[in-house]
Amino acid sequence: MTASEPLPSVEAELRAAPPHALVATARRILADRLGAQEVTLLLADYGLAVLQPVSHLPYTGEPVPAQDGPVGSAFVRQSPVIEVLREPAAHLVHLPITVRGDRLGVLSVRLPEGAADPETVLQLGDFATALGHEVVTADQDTDLYLQARRTRRLTLAAEMQWQLLPGRGCAREEYVIGAHLEPAYSIGGDNFDWSADARHLTITVTDGMGKGIEAALLTSLTVGALRNARRGGLGLADQACLADQAVYAQYGGKMYASTLLLRCDLATGAVTAVDAGSPQLFRQRGGHTERIELDAQLPLGMFEETDYVEQHFQLEPDDRLIVVSTGVHGTRSAGGDLYGEGALRQILSATRPAPPHEAARAVVAGLVEHFGSDDLVSDAAVVCLDWHGPPA
């Protein structure tokens, strides 16, 4: 990766590699151009608890903590971490792999002593990003990287839900989104979705009624109907109406989906909202956390041809929005205390300096502690949005 071998040639080599051979290709490229002695791709598991090394099946590498140690530090801080090794002397460089704000994992590269100069680390960061884009593309053609993220088997309902999600994060100049779901390996009805164009960002958080496959099927229909309406150019209230009709036509009011729909004008920070059920919305401004009280309207599919009304509020630069599903704010401790009545606000305040990804994860970690077990009774979804404001 010298001046005579610019990054585009590296990207071309990665693109030309078979989907299952990206790690082997990365090892060859970095060994040839930088003398790399070892290259390891580690991907975050579904629960964000560990980072798992990618290898050929069956996997033999040992996972490392996603929140601690040099590798976990690179993942959490989203910046390179360099370890100095003594015997034999070398540098181990850990580089976060993030694609458009979605944190995938870490690339660890062992370099000869003295080779980890600032320019080389910067080039390695670009290489890690290029590799991340190819991993995302490769997921269309191979299960290797999806399997590498698993510490155990997903339930069928969870498999359906994770395939439905847009990712766990997204970033643009105007905003950063971080989101988390639990129980990650057996999620059923909770879902989040987002989409942005040049003018607007749309976010939905959906809580499908029931458990397991029934809840996953209901949520899949709901999210599909919302996407169909959104991609048809309909406004937020009409998106809710179309999804409401689709769910009612299928279930006749016997099952329904609670959904919060938000649409943010990227030029002004003006937000349009439709509260069709139970997800709750909080806003942090300065040092204050407040719940944004919206008019509670009927969940999608509860009754035939329900009309929905849009409401409006304003975001200011440096505001943070947090959406939590019923499984978060409605969960009780062993003593009967609702998480949403006190503990949730304390965690929101404590995590205000943290980036959205970590704030969302911390809310769920606090929920598990409040409940007293990681075997949550209800699905829990959290979406955290930091609003930076329109481009200067």
Per residue in 97-143, pLDDT (tens digit) is 999 999 999 999 999 988 889 999 999 999 999 999 999 999 999 99
Mean pLDDT value of segment 279-305: 94
Name the band, by pLDDT with cuts 50, 70 and 90, for residue 285.
very high
| Amino acid letter for position 127 | F
pLDDT, residue 22, reads: 95
Mean pLDDT value of segment 370-392: 89
Label residue 93 exposed, middle or buried (CB < 10 Å: 0-12, 13-18, 19+): buried
- pLDDT above 90 covers a percentage of the chain that reads 82
Q: CB-based contacts of 308: which residues, under 8 Å, 6+ apart?
A: 237, 240, 241, 244, 274, 276, 297
What's the length of the chain? 392
DSSP string spanning 308-365?
---EEEE--TTEEEEEE-HHHHT-B-TT--BGGGTHHHHHHHHTTTS-HHHHHHHHHH
Strand partners, 73: none
Average pLDDT, the chain: 92
Whole-model pTM: value is: 0.92
The answer to whether 336 and 351 have CB atoms below 8 angstroms apart is no
Phi first, then psi, for residue 65 (nearest 5°) are -60, 140
Lowest mean pLDDT: which of 59-73, 90-104, 270-284? 59-73
324's tokens: 């939590």
Lowest mean pLDDT: which of 20-34, 59-73, 97-111, 187-201? 59-73
The answer to whether 25 and 13 have CB atoms below 8 angstroms apart is yes
| Amino acid letter for position 241 | C
Angle among Cα 242, 243, 249 to the nearest 5 degrees reads 90
Give the three-class secondary structure for 189. coil
Q: Is the pLDDT of residue 218 over 50?
A: yes
pLDDT tens-digit series, residues 303-362? 998 999 999 999 999 999 999 998 889 888 878 888 888 889 999 999 999 999 999 999
Name the band, by pLDDT with cuts 50, 70 and 90, for residue 376.
confident
Name the band, by pLDDT with cuts 50, 70 and 90, for residue 51.
very high
Mean pLDDT value of segment 16-44: 94
Enumerate long-range contacts of 108-113, CB under 8 Å, 24 or more apart.
108/38, 108/39, 108/40, 108/42, 108/71, 109/30, 109/34, 109/36, 109/38, 109/39, 109/40, 110/36, 110/37, 110/38, 110/39, 110/85, 111/34, 111/35, 111/36, 111/37, 112/35, 112/37, 113/89
Q: Is the pLDDT of residue 241 over 60?
A: yes
DSSP string spanning 90-112?
EEEEEEEEEETTEEEEEEEEEEE
pLDDT, residue 143, reads: 94
Q: Is the pLDDT of residue 386 over 60?
A: yes
Q: CA-CA-CA-CA torsion for 379, 237, 285, 167, nearest 10 degrees?
A: 50
| H runs (alpha helix) in the chain | 7-16, 22-34, 69-77, 118-138, 144-148, 156-164, 212-231, 236-251, 326-329, 343-350, 356-371
First to last CA, the chain: 34
The answer to whether 327 and 190 have CB atoms below 8 angstroms apart is yes
